[in-house]
Homo-oligomer: A and B are copies of this chain.
């Protein structure tokens, strides 16, 4: 599957490189050294060079890194050189917000459908996409070869919805529920645990006032 396992810590820094390189491109900067990138991104120059060298020698001695080329390389590593078909499961507050969030489309995440178990919501159109009933979810994923589901159900339905998603051949789940999902081998997930993040904030907030 892979030559040399790259640590999760490295992977989680990649999107930040991607973002800062985008900004540099917008500013018309066309090359940057690890030392200057360090100043704006906040990672050490050494770490930057180590991180990038996990994937290849993208730089050039005496010159630094070409911003545009490096941006493209990182986009490719992250898998941003393709489209992803997505569905949203759960048309509550968060589900609706995600449906309307425009950045996803810009990065080639194509929202194909929204699903909910509340009959009052079925047929509603959010950002041009119709809310369909839950029962159709499994067939829809199979038929349209959906890659990623944004899981926005309530806590109670989270695991059983995840089971349906896995059985239907989903590739990844972006999990907004406060549940640690148990998934089928080969299905990946990333979690946005809002409440956990907020509690971390209160911890540090109270430390400051000591």
Contacts and interface: CB of A to CB of B under 8 A. Distances in A.
Interface of A: 1-2, 11-12, 14-16, 18-19, 42, 77-80, 84, 93-94, 96-98, 100-101, 103-104, 107, 109, 147-148, 171-172, 174, 178, 180, 186-190, 192-210
28 contacts: A1-B207, A12-B196, A12-B200, A14-B200, A14-B203, A15-B199, A16-B196, A18-B199, A19-B178, A78-B199, A80-B202, A93-B96, A93-B101, A101-B194, A103-B178, A103-B194, A147-B205, A148-B202, A171-B205, A171-B209, A172-B201, A172-B202, A174-B197, A188-B204, A189-B201, A190-B197, A190-B201, A192-B197
Nearest to A152: B97
B205 A172 contact: yes
A189 B202 CA distance: 9
Contact of A94 (B16, B18, B101, B148): B101
A100 B194 CA distance: 14
A94 B103 CA distance: 13
B15 A193 contact: yes
The number of times this chain is found in the oligomer is 2
A146 B128 CA distance: 38
A182 B11 CA distance: 24
A28 to B, nearest CB: 18
A194 B195 contact: no
